[in-house]
Structure 1
Amino acid sequence: MKAAVRTMEEMPLSGFHYKMFAYSAGSAFLDGYIIGIIGVALSVMKTQFDMSLTIMGLLGTATLAGMFVGGIIGGYLTDLIGRKKMFLIDMFVMLVVSILQFFIKDPVQLIILRFILGIAVGADYPIAGALMAEFSPKKNRGALLGGINSLWYVGYASSFLIGYFMLSIGDTSWRWMLASSAVPVLFLLLARLNMPESPRWLASKGKEKEANAIIQRIFGEHVVMSVEPVTKAKTSFLDIFRNGNGKWTFFVSVFWSLQVIPTFGIGTYIPEILAEFGFADGAKEYLGSAIINIFYLAGLVPFLYLVEKWGRRPTLIWPFFVSSISLFILGAFSGSDMPFVFVLVLFIIYGIFNNAMGMHEWIYPNELFPTHIRGTAVGFATAVSRFASSVGTFLFPSILANYGLAVTLYICGALFFIGFVISLIMAPETKNMSLEEASSINKKSSNMGVDIHQGI
């Protein structure tokens, strides 16, 4: 009796899936670590170099600027030459540049290296997301993709912890801090040597025999990629704006940007914000910052379950709304003598629901686009969001200084509320869909009313 044929998306979670998660989540970890470590390194470096405010600003933003370029170029190349090949090239570039940071002679050299490093980090986003999506079981895809987001916070927190302990090295500690990213990069590079290429990408390039061989080696001989026919497709950057994909490119880029602008601004200046509430005496502003960031990570856990139980749509829409209301309330009470616990609880509520939004930055872009442009679309959205976050973070202290805390929080709350409205109108439901079904929603105009409004 022949065994029933199953698709790779119907296979249960296994050790292989967790291994692919580790490969992919490493990208988010490195992003958080590389962005975080420069802050600690600069505190030592600025005592040894005569740096203007412009140079300091360029050092802080060079990585984000590089990510803008890396997202666009890296995403396109990921679809053009393959997931695994780009993963390895990207890691090699990151390794070399991380080490070179140790030997810089002046800040300008470091700006150039940080920009190149940003390109590599930005390129890693579309590779990681596409690879994870294309191997995930459809019943667990949302949780696996959303879980990648949590590693950003782990990487960011780790950078400050490691930087703190490296301060004891002395005057050269900043060199060791910057070069320390080479350690996780080398680990990931060696681990990724053994990873397979995405069968979906291979099939989209007409290499079905090679794709099926990988699937059967991993899952068994009675497993196929899909019950639907695979169409060979040529990768074109402009396809993310054509054939119904433009709507999703707009949706993903806009909701992602609206989420990260307040998040990066508030996250960067949270000690100053708590001080504005009157908690500048002692260490309350730093204690509060630490507690809030812990909840950023812990708050994601229940939503990794709910994104599969309730669906993508409600776990994006309502977190936008709750985060918005939390900031409006904080703005309204910013001039009052409020208890520390009251303010902290509101920021924790904001942080938990805000992180629930953040996981969709990995889910929606990787589900809504077909394989031949998946990396390109994710890369483009990454670039747009990083540009938006850098502009928002740059303007945040000026708005806070010139217009006060209440207006600043109202603006952040308004951005989240706009995200709520856009998500309410546009967010589709892709829970339990195959990647073929999810990426075909934009072609099912006759059923669109049903598809996008279920799960409110």
Structure 2
Amino acid sequence: MSSLSERSRASPGPPNSPPPLRSLSPEEVIAQTNLLDDLMTDIGMGKFQKQLLVLCGLGWFADNMWLQCIALILPRVQSQFEIQDKYIGILSSSMFVGMMFGAMFWGMLADAYGRKQAFNLTLIVTTLFGVAASFANSYWLLCLLILGLGFGVGGNMPVDGALFLEFTPKKNQYLLTFLSIFFSFGAVSTAFLGYYLLPPYSCEDPVPGGCQGKGWRYMLLAMGGVTFSMVIGRVLLFRMEESPKFLLNHNRHQEAAMVLSRIFHINHKEVHSETFEENIETLTTRFTKPHSPGNTSGESSSESESGVSPTEFNALRRPHPHLRPFSTTGSSAGETKYRPLFLHKYRNKWQRKYRTAMNRLTPLLEPRFRLSTILIWVIWAMVAFAYTAFNVFYPKFLQEHGQGGKQPLQVVYKDTLIYAAAGVPGSVLATFMIEGRLGRRYTMALSTFGTAIATILFAVLSDHTALTVFSALLSLLSTLNYAVLYSYTPEVFPSDIRGTACGVAAAMSRLAGILSPLLMGFLLSINTSIPLYVSFAAFGISGVLMCFLPIETRGRAAE
């Protein structure tokens, strides 16, 4: 504590007012990005990246695992608390409300304070709320806890995807699409547990006063245990490094060089090559933004006492380049005297947070990215609306749709398991298709049109075998579509706004996910098939919009 206070006193100026720095020119930014790509190529796709692939994949695994869990327990929750059809969608909407705010919060946190913090905290928050939800004694308390659960889950895919992309050499960045196989296995694991936990501990028919079966509680508790095991893997069994691109964007070149050197050692277990050493030296000298003149001798004493140079110390304090300094003006001494201090403090705090958010969103709407940003936002929203309309009520569709009328729970959850397992090959197909002639954009469009066709066939046919086949086809194609969409989005945007771009896109999908269960719950009370027709139309519109995306990222290095 003493050394920290001494260091703070030794630094000139207020702690939140770093000295003015020059910005890198566009040519320097490109050169720095190319140099980092060369360094990542030297490092290669080794042990560190493979471990990171698994740990990031577990975040995607948790995302879909919890989404499918809510879909599976929804009819059982409805049975216990005796909730009407038009209100039962609120449970899923609560999940998506949390995921929407979580996606924005964790994405912006990742851009402002680093990927590492968000990477670890998302699953911790998810675990706490997931376990707590299993003890809810009312429907509305359950909705509130599921909202908190969604807040944690919401950051997994945007943060983990951006993090993996920034640690991966250019030639291996297609593996971001492969992460979606974990997404599919998340659904399979939930369906597997649901098949064994829900039918034995749930009621087949409505019970006066509500069914008191605890199957859905056991499901939430089991999901919380699985998520906690992922937390242990991330926090205790793996040393996560901060993203070098994030560090460079914050002018922390020495730290970036140390991270790159450690990863090289993990992958190769040998002395650095001459080329690697030269590139590291260039990175730490050529692109370091010089301080303005006028540093005091206090900085030298800071270095001698703490072992940290003034350059390194000030770099640690430096805000994101897109952030503008905020100052409070216009309040007189008299006003300050009579205004409650804590209100003044928190008003300024939220004003700064609002300005920070707006400054991060502004680059997304510059001419270079404007069309891509708008189309991606709409596509994420439309696909999420369509998929949620089908997926959230899928067990209920199976129970009430088709020749057999009301199906036994054992049959319903067996079909759900088939539906979830059918999505796994979609992730593998996407990994190969995006590198072929169709590229990212048209692979997305083709799979989305196919999903629309499978949805309408599921709606108009009533034979049980046909329903199983076309629901499996829908699962395959929608997983393929999501796999490409999740990898395409971070590839379009540069690293300094990538977390925000992915977070806002994910937030748009969560917003659609909020509205979809509410609307579909109302339509479901009119006719079981209407939500399926709405889902078909939304998938079709999404496919058309994908054809107009202006940027094809196949073979292009992430900036």
TM-score category, normalised to shorter length: 0.7 to 0.9
User: 1:421 aligns to what?
Assistant: 544
User: 1:304 aligns to what?
Assistant: 431
Q: Among 203, 206, 228, which residue is 2:248 paired with?
A: 203
User: 1:448 aligns to what?
Assistant: none
Give the CA deviation at 1:385: 0.5
TM-score, normalised via structure 1 length = 0.80
Contact 1:296 1:352 in 2 (8 A): yes
- Identity across aligned pairs (percent)? 24
User: 1:148 aligns to what?
Assistant: 179
User: 2:226 aligns to what?
Assistant: 184
Distance 1:135 1:394 in 2: 39
Residues 176 and 327 (structure 1), Cα distance of their counterparts in 2 relative to 1, 3 Å cut: closer
Worse overlay, 148-157 or 103-112: 103-112
Distance 1:330 1:173 in 2: 28
Distance 1:171 1:330 in 2: 31
Q: Among 203, 212, 226, which residue is 2:257 paired with?
A: 212
Distance 2:87 2:533 in 1: 32
Describe how 1:298-377 pairs up with structure 2 within 5 A.
Answer: 298-310=425-437, 311-327=439-455, 334=460, 341=465, 344-377=468-501
- For the aligned residue pairs, the C-alpha RMSD in angstroms reads 3.5
TM-score, normalised via structure 2 length = 0.66
Superposed CA deviations along residues 347-366 of structure 1, whole A, max 9, x for unmatched, are 44433222221112321221
User: 1:67 aligns to what?
Assistant: 99
Worse overlay, 219-228 or 248-257: 219-228
Superposed CA deviations along residues 163-183 of structure 1, whole A, max 9, x for unmatched, are 554566896665443333332
Give the CA deviation at 1:56: 4.9
Structure 1 SS opposite 2:499: helix
Contact 1:330 1:343 in 2 (8 A): yes
Give the CA deviation at 1:106: 4.5
User: 2:321 aligns to what?
Assistant: 233
Worse overlay, 51-60 or 263-272: 51-60
Residues 139 and 285 (structure 1), Cα distance of their counterparts in 2 relative to 1, 3 Å cut: same
Give the CA deviation at 1:104: 4.6
Give the CA deviation at 1:389: 2.5
Structure 2 SS opposite 1:300: helix
User: 1:380 aligns to what?
Assistant: 504
Q: Among 259, 278, 297, which residue is 2:403 paired with?
A: 278
Contact 2:194 2:219 in 1 (8 A): yes
Distance 1:253 1:131 in 2: 21
Worse overlay, 216-225 or 68-77: 216-225
Distance 1:352 1:280 in 2: 26
Superposed CA deviations along residues 387-436 of structure 1, whole A, max 9, x for unmatched, are 1123223323544664673x655543332222222111115211121112
Give the CA deviation at 1:70: 0.9
Amino acid at match of 1:198: S
User: 2:418 aligns to what?
Assistant: 291
Q: Among 262, 266, 276, which residue is 2:386 paired with?
A: 262
Residues 171 and 408 (structure 1), Cα distance of their counterparts in 2 relative to 1, 3 Å cut: closer
Distance 1:173 1:385 in 2: 29
Distance 1:271 1:109 in 2: 23
Contact 1:239 1:245 in 2 (8 A): no
Give the CA deviation at 1:259: 1.8
Contact 1:32 1:152 in 2 (8 A): yes
Distance 2:486 2:41 in 1: 18
Contact 2:102 2:155 in 1 (8 A): yes
Give the CA deviation at 1:27: 1.6
Worse overlay, 296-305 or 126-135: 296-305
Distance 1:377 1:327 in 2: 30
Contact 1:64 1:386 in 2 (8 A): yes
Residues 65 and 298 (structure 1), Cα distance of their counterparts in 2 relative to 1, 3 Å cut: same
Distance 1:45 1:402 in 2: 21
Residues 104 and 303 (structure 1), Cα distance of their counterparts in 2 relative to 1, 3 Å cut: closer
Worse overlay, 372-381 or 52-61: 52-61
Residues 37 and 276 (structure 1), Cα distance of their counterparts in 2 relative to 1, 3 Å cut: closer
Residues 230 and 327 (structure 1), Cα distance of their counterparts in 2 relative to 1, 3 Å cut: farther
User: 1:133 aligns to what?
Assistant: 165
Amino acid at match of 2:231: L
Unaligned runs of 5+ in 1: 437-456
Contact 1:98 1:180 in 2 (8 A): no
Distance 1:328 1:175 in 2: 34
Give the CA deviation at 1:289: 4.4
Structure 2 SS opposite 1:319: helix
Worse overlay, 347-356 or 269-278: 269-278
Give the CA deviation at 1:129: 1.3
Residues 251 and 29 (structure 1), Cα distance of their counterparts in 2 relative to 1, 3 Å cut: same
Distance 1:28 1:140 in 2: 19
Give the CA deviation at 1:114: 1.9
Contact 1:40 1:164 in 2 (8 A): no
Distance 1:15 1:370 in 2: 26
Structure 2 SS opposite 1:428: coil
Larger Rg: 2
